[in-house]
Amino acid sequence: MEKPHDVSWEPSKVIISEDLQTFDESSVALLAKRLEEDDYPTPFDGLRDWHLLRAIAIQRPELAETYLHLIDQEPFDED
């Protein structure tokens, strides 16, 4: 059995398709759990995880299907 992917992400690292291929169900579940708990040292850490889950949802939708509620954005009116 393969070890779950380390879901930490360096701020300067660009998310590329090859990196997303290393994610599996358990690593996406860990990422989603962190987002649900929303206990980050800085807002930027949470935003980084949000972008990572969003990229996974685009490139590997079968893995993020259960967690779409974490990346849905509500439409808003700026007026």
Domain spans of the chain, in order of start: 17-70
Q: Is 22 helix (H, G, I), strand (E, B) or coil?
A: coil
Dump pLDDT digits (tens) for 21-69: 899 999 999 999 999 999 999 999 999 999 999 999 999 999 999 999 9
Q: How confident is the model at residue 20 (pLDDT cuts 50, 70, 90)?
A: confident
Question: What whole-number distance in Å separates Cα of residue 70 and Cα of residue 46?
Answer: 11
pLDDT of residue 1: 37
DSSP annotation of 36 reads H
Q: How confident is the model at residue 7 (pLDDT cuts 50, 70, 90)?
A: low
pLDDT of residue 3: 42
* Greater model confidence, 78 or 50: 50
